[in-house]
Amino acid sequence: MKTCMKISTLFLSYVFFLIAPINVLFAQDKPSIAIVSIDTKDLNLDNVSMGSLVRLELEKTDTYEVLDKYDVADIMKQNGIDPAKCFGKTQLVKVGKLLKADKMLSGSAEKFGEKIIIILRMIDVKTEKIEKTNVMEYLDQQSEIQVMVEISIKNLLEIPNDEILVDLLVNYDRPITSPKTTVRLNGPRMGATYTTGKTAKRMEADKNEGGFGMYPISSMFGYQFELQYLSSGDFQALVELIPALNGLESGYVVPSITFMNGFRFNKYGLEFGLGPVIRVVQTAEGYYDETDKWHLAEDLPEGSNYTLEHAMDNRGEYGVSTGLIIAVGKTFRSGYLNMPVNLYFSPRKEGNIVGVTVGFNIAQKPKLRKE
């Protein structure tokens, strides 16, 4: 047994000493690259800190042999080169030759309006040419600057990025909005409504009592047509038209159409709106007795003092019912995709209605209004 163990140990040692030089050889095959600094403007990080951040994310890719920042700083100091001013191609090539590096990486990161723009350039020292360039526009989220650098580095090196991170941080072009332009954000809507009060009781009542045998919670499927008629910075005013079908889960089709005047704050995705809603329902004239039970008007006892009114009844005629809707919402964005979530309230004497809708739409290019 001891002899076998000795043989195994000798064999593994032999393999290690045989493979080790090969690993070293492959490690030496990686091209070297140096980073002096990255120019910054209106960011929380200065040139040196941004350069360190880029160096860190580049080392994580394990694609190049990244030269030590202290060695780079020492060589530049010996040759009287100021790293704070070393951004041009000619200067970087000169430094690259002094460092005996294969590549030089430089660039800039600056805040521009509501964007953070990161530009990276890789220079081949031998050919003295810019080999690769990557330009990325991000949302102004400086707390996520390291993730932005990671995305830019991977793009420069053609390494796949996490698509979710890209969607969250990349600043896609927004539609242009001004007093002379209109933007249409149309899309499907779906949700649910909850009815209270006497209306809910009429919906739940048996059909032989004039009810509909429905649930107080019903589905809603519709489509929103939206027109923005005023834009001032992040504030926009718009008109919404939402035709919808309700109550499908109970075997009924209850059509409705909502007109709303809305106000949106684009920066936060918040909006508020209100307007009339029109529904087509069956109603009949009748009264509620002392136990709140519904009866048709033809059953009214002589000499009684019950008050006649109209309520939902499957024995009645189709008619138009109007109401008011007050809604608040927030739009979640993912690239060009907008996902609005809205809560709404419709106050009525015979029963309030509350509901929630979700949907999606694509931001389309604006169309110029003709004067």
231-259 residue pLDDT tens: 766 678 889 999 999 988 888 889 999 99
pTM of the model: 0.51
Contacts of residue 331, Cβ cutoff 8 Å, sequence gap at least 6 = 264, 269, 271, 338, 339, 340, 341
Using DSSP's 3-state secondary structure scheme, residue 290 falls into coil
Helix, coil or strand: residue 125: coil
Output the pLDDT for position 104: 93
DSSP 203-263: HHS-GGGT-----SEEEEEEEEEEEEEEEETTEEEEEEEEEEEE-GGGT--EEEEEEEEEE
CA 144 to chain centre: 16
Cα–Cα distance for residue pair 350/235, rounded to 1 Å: 36
Q: How far apart are CA 202 and CA 213, in angstroms?
A: 8
Report the pLDDT value the prediction gives residue 47, as an integer from 0 to 100.
Answer: 87
DSSP conformation class of 297: G
**8-64: pLDDT as tens digits:** 555 555 445 555 454 444 445 789 999 988 999 999 988 888 989 999 999 999 999
Domain map (residue ranges) of the chain: 29-169, 181-368
CATH 3.90.110.10 fits 181-368, yes or no: no
Residue 83 to residue 95: CA distance in whole angstroms: 10
* Token pair listed for 187: 């899309």
Contacts (Cβ under 8 Å, ≥6 apart) of 70: none
> Which residues neighbour 225 within 8 Å (Cβ) at sequence distance 6 or greater?
184, 186, 240, 241, 242
Query: What is the spatial distance between Cα 5 and Cα 10, in angstroms, rounded to a whole number?
Result: 9
- The DSSP secondary-structure symbol of 170 reads B
For residue 353, what are its two tokens? 């209605």
Fold of 29-169: Rossmann fold (3.40.50)
Type of residue found at 178: S
Residue 10 neighbours by CB distance under 10 Å: 10
- 292 burial type by CB count under 10 A (0-12 exposed, 13-18 middle, 19+ buried): exposed
One pLDDT digit (tens) per residue for the chain, 371 residues? 545 555 455 555 544 555 545 444 444 578 999 998 899 999 998 888 898 999 999 999 999 999 998 888 888 888 888 777 777 888 889 889 999 999 999 999 999 888 999 999 999 999 999 999 999 999 888 889 999 999 999 999 999 998 888 888 886 655 454 444 444 568 899 999 999 998 899 899 998 888 898 888 999 999 999 888 877 666 788 899 999 999 888 888 899 999 999 998 877 788 999 999 999 999 999 998 888 889 998 888 887 888 898 899 999 899 998 999 999 999 887 766 788 899 999 998 888 999 999 998 776 544 444 44
Q: Taking a C-beta distance cutoff of 8 angstroms, is the pair 68, 55 a contact?
A: no
Number of other CB atoms surrounding residue 63 within 10 Å: 16
